[in-house]
């Protein structure tokens, strides 16, 4: 597979936009933006193709997946009109009860993330119940070589105290308190500009599959292991 790298000119456009985050400058450099946007879309196209070899994504194309560069500043203290990055979310098929991936290409701040960002109330309770009953399995998953080397510790917002119905002295209460189940990995600009960066990104995303597979099993069954329908 011939991959399209994220180009140095795209990085440079984002650097220039960071330094000139105003409508006048952006209007004068709209053609440069469109070229960089096309490059980012093709890069994500490559990533989608690679990931669909080992997962099932619902995203149709890289360009359609990219978030808008235009900011909604109505309720923000920062009134600069543009987000100087190319970012997107990649969502897994609904039959896996989702889970998803996030890509952020930004000078000095490039990163990927994956996991479960906002489980609904029923799913969150099911996850917490599984942690309560099977916390040793969770500990083995989270301490696995693949996850530790590629992502470090699990991140995400947590409640401050034990959720209702759970014992505050449970040995895995630090996991039960989680509202989000997220993992991230940061990259240098040098890594981003490498010709094989998309392959490296895909390889890191593959490292989370044991966790995703386990979560899919949890969220499609009840506590007795029966199909939840």
How many C-beta atoms surround the C-beta of residue 227 within 10 A?
A: 7
pLDDT (tens digit per residue) in 44-100: 999 999 999 999 999 999 999 999 999 987 777 888 999 999 999 999 987 766 689
Per-residue confidence (pLDDT) for residue 72, from 0 to 100:
84
90, β-bridge pairs:
101
Using DSSP's 3-state secondary structure scheme, residue 198 falls into helix
Per-residue confidence (pLDDT) for residue 79, from 0 to 100:
86
CA distance 40 to 37: 5
Tokens of 4: 């399209």
CA distance 175 to 178: 6
pTM, to two decimals = 0.92
H/E/C letters for each residue in 48-98? HHHHCCCCCECCCCHHHHECCCECCCCCCCCCCCECCCEEEEEEECHHHCC
b/e burial code for range 74-93 (CB count within 10 A of at least 16 → b): eeeeeeeebbbbbbbebebe
Of 2, 10, 1, 46, which is closest to residue 192 (Cα–Cα)?
Answer: 10
Task: Write down how long the chain is.
Answer: 229
Q: Which helix (H) or strand (E) holds 42?
A: helix 30-51
Average pLDDT over all residues of the chain: 94
Q: Where are the domains of the chain?
A: 8-219
Task: Compute the C-alpha angle 87/90/95, nearest 5°.
Answer: 165
* Average of per-residue pLDDT across 3-25: 96
pLDDT (tens digit per residue) in 171-224: 999 999 999 999 999 999 999 999 999 999 999 999 999 999 999 999 988 877
14 phi and psi, to 5 degrees? -65, -35
Per-residue confidence (pLDDT) for residue 93, from 0 to 100:
85
pLDDT (tens digit per residue) in 121-167: 999 999 999 999 999 999 999 999 999 999 999 999 999 999 999 99
Sheet containing strand 86-91, strands side by side: 86-91, 100-105, 111-116, 181-186
Confidence grade of residue 36 (pLDDT, cut at 50, 70, 90): very high
Higher pLDDT, 58 or 2: 58
Q: Considering the domain delimited by 8-219, tell me its CATH architecture.
A: 2-Layer Sandwich (3.30)
Per-residue confidence (pLDDT) for residue 187, from 0 to 100:
98
């Amino acid at each position: 597979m011939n991959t399209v790298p994220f180009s140095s000119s795209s990085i440079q456009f984002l650097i220039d936009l960071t330094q000139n985050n105003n409508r006048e400058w952006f209007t004068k450099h709209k053609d440069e933006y469109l070229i960089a946007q096309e490059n980012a879309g093709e890069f994500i196209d490559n990533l989608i193709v690679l990931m669909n070899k080992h997962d099932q994504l619902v995203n149709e194309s890289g360009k359609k997946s990219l978030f808008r560069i235009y900011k909604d500043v109505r309720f923000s203290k920062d009134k600069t009109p543009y987000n100087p990055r190319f970012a997107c979310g990649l969502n897994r098929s609904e039959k896996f009860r989702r889970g998803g991936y996030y890509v952020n290409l930004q000078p000095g701040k490039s990163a990927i993330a994956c996991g479960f960002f906002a489980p609904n109330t029923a799913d969150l309770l099911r996850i917490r119940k599984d942690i309560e009953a099977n916390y040793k399995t969770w500990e083995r998953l989270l301490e696995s070589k693949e996850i530790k080397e590629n992502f470090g510790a699990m991140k995400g917002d947590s409640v401050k105290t034990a959720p209702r119905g759970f014992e505050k002295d449970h040995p895995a209460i630090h996991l039960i308190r989680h509202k989000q189940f997220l993992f991230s990995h940061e990259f240098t600009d040098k890594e981003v500009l490498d010709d094989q960066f998309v392959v490296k990104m895909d390889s890191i995303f593959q490292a989370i599959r044991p966790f995703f597979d386990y979560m899919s099993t949890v969220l499609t069954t009840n506590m007795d292991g029966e199909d939840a329908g």
